[in-house]
Amino acid sequence: MTNRKPISSISAGIIVLFMIFMMSCGTKTPTDLSGESIIPKPLSVTATGDYFCLGKKADIYVQGEADELKHVAAYLADRLRPATGFPLEVKTTAEAPGKGNIFLTLSGADASLGDEGYSLTITKKLVTLAANKPAGLFNGIQTLRQLLPAEIEKSTAQESEWHIAGGTITDYPAYEYRGAMLDVARHFFSVDDVKRFIDLISVYKINTLHLHLSDDQGWRIEIKSWPNLALYGGKTEVGGGVGGYYTQEQYSDIVKYADDRFITIIPEIDMPGHTNAALASYPELNISGKATELYTGTEVGFSTLDTKKEITYKFVEDVFRELAELTTGPYLHIGGDETHVTRKEDYITFIERVQDIVISLGKQPVGWDEISLARLRPGAIAQYWSSAENANKAVAQGAKLIMSPASRVYIDMKYDSTTVIGYTWAGVTEVDKAYNWDPATLEPAIGRDNIIGIEAALWTETVTNMEEIEFMTFPRLPGIAEVAWTHSSLRNWDEYKLRLGNHAKRFKAMGINYYPSKLVPWAE
């Protein structure tokens, strides 16, 4: 038997000192800012080989007293406090602060960075984040998070050295519209689920969340002037579950939560098709004058509002008036897809009148690409999903496009034939396929100038809970976010997949249930 000596108090002291040293900013680790795995890839990165260490005395300084600056700084502090365990107070200052702090400023950024760009300068002494607008600072904060060790995303205090590689990043987006859509109609998701979704997409600089609030299977938003829409039409979902709806107060809470993260919510009321939940709630909206039954299946294209009755337009106006009041962003989405049982001329009249209603409420109409069959009003936006012909018609009318090609960014498609949930009607979409395309060259008649941006769409006929939302979204969404943010000349799958592989640790730290695609070299 070996005779173990008890640890002497001297050696115990040395161990404690060593641990403190390890947790301090003293150790020199090699750093290379240009080798960091930032997604979406920034426009330009210059490394110095130096590094900044975030220590327990660090604070976050904002230049000036503006509340919007303090809010962004508070958001950053909230991201960094749990894992570091540091106090990280938000303080105001007129000048750049002393050594060891983070400095956020809206002065001195180059005008070319626009409203969403930022410059991030990391020296041994200071981290300086400069932008023209708070949205730019917010985007820079997402980059900063990714420069810290992955443990920064954990919700409890971690033992780590919080080093940030030194250098300068200058960055702004290729497209102004970088969206994700969540279908809360086929299956209903709670306010907390939507908030988590917002938090996860904001990491990748997505700035728009399109909520598909109504469909055949459910109506998900309280409308005070037509109460049965939510009370009755919200009672079920695909598969016969209990469904649900957001009260206006809850919905406003979501909008506020998104606004605080520089994400614009676009509410969609899909019409004149995809309306069974409304048709079941109010008989007068039906051509037959009789209410339909609630629907829990997954067929599409069988329902239509009666486009000939004035009451239908009163309904549309009431619904959009209430929604417009809850909407801080510029858009209302009118749907308009898959209207297989609406006569074409009725469809056209309907879409034209509904655009006018939206415009009269001070908002811009957005609709799926079929709306280009109608005359598009100035400012109307078409969302390309399947028909190049329709998209071309929209462009010919001078409308801008949101690009959501189903074969690339419908993230309800299976990854491969073995994926348990999801559809295959637009093919299977592995992670490389969602990444490897250029919106500006996808269709010959659609050029860069016709496109405001890209949106990933998560339809939820087969998606029933948050774990499944995460599984279909990750890791495709970070790649789609890069398609939207990063200029196509800087993108390359073979290089991207290495950066994506390095995000596995971050996904795990955030508790994301992601699909571990075999195409990606995951760094565990």
Residues in contact with ligand TNX by the rule CB under 6 A: 300, 337-338, 368, 385, 410, 412, 423, 459, 461
State the Cα–Cα distance between residues 482 and 493, nearest whole angstrom: 11
Segment holding 472, helix H or strand E: helix 466-473
Query: Which residues make beta-bridge pairs with 168?
Result: 46, 121
Decide whether 136 or 273 has the Cβ nearer to ligand TNX: 273
Query: Which residues make beta-bridge pairs with 169?
Result: 45, 120
Which residue intervals of 48-158 are DSSP H helices? 67-84, 134-147
Dmax (CA) for the chain in angstroms is 95
Q: How many CA atoms lie within 13 A of 245 on its CB side?
A: 24
Q: In the block, which residue shows the tokens 């981290």?
A: 127
State the Cα–Cα distance between residues 200 and 180, nearest whole angstrom: 11
The answer to whether the beta carbons of residues 296 and 283 sit under 8 Å apart is: no
Decide whether 197 or 410 has the Cβ nearer to ligand TNX: 410
Write the CB contacts of 143 (distance below 8 Å, at least 6 apart in sequence).
38, 42, 118, 120, 169, 171
Decide whether 63 or 386 has the Cβ nearer to ligand TNX: 386
Structure tokens at 448: 């860069």
Q: From the candidates 116, 222, 268, 338, give the one annotated as an active-site residue.
A: 338
Closest approach of Cβ 184 to ligand TNX, in Å?
12
Q: 475: cis peptide before it, omega within 30°?
A: yes
What 3-state DSSP class applies to 81? Answer: helix
Of 240, 231, 236, the C-alpha closest to 218 is: 236
Decide whether 465 or 488 has the Cβ nearer to ligand TNX: 465
Closest approach of Cβ 302 to ligand TNX, in Å?
12
Decide whether 337 or 482 has the Cβ nearer to ligand TNX: 337
Catalytic residue list contains 338: yes
Closest approach of Cβ 390 to ligand TNX, in Å?
11
Total number of residues shown for the chain: 524
What is the SS3 assignment for 102-122? EEEECCCCCHHHCCCCEEEEE
Decide whether 43 or 300 has the Cβ nearer to ligand TNX: 300
Decide whether 317 or 369 has the Cβ nearer to ligand TNX: 369
Q: In the block, which residue shows the tokens 């056209």?
A: 348
Decide whether 237 or 338 has the Cβ nearer to ligand TNX: 338
Decide whether 74 or 442 has the Cβ nearer to ligand TNX: 442
Closest approach of Cβ 344 to ligand TNX, in Å?
17
Structure tokens at 113: 């960075």
Residue type, 12: A
Question: What interhelical angle do 191-202 and 476-485 show, nearest 10?
Answer: 50
Decide whether 205 or 210 has the Cβ nearer to ligand TNX: 210
Structure tokens at 186: 């086929």
Write the CB contacts of 374 (distance below 8 Å, at least 6 apart in sequence).
347, 348, 351, 352, 355
State the Cα–Cα distance between residues 234 and 276, nearest whole angstrom: 11
State the Cα–Cα distance between residues 78 and 87, nearest whole angstrom: 10
CA angle at 463 for the pair 462 and 465, rounded to the nearest 5°: 145
Q: In the block, which residue shows the tokens 């390309």?
A: 384
Of 472, 496, 466, the C-alpha closest to 421 is: 472
140 CB neighbour count, 10 Å cutoff: 29
Q: State the catalytic residues.
A: 338
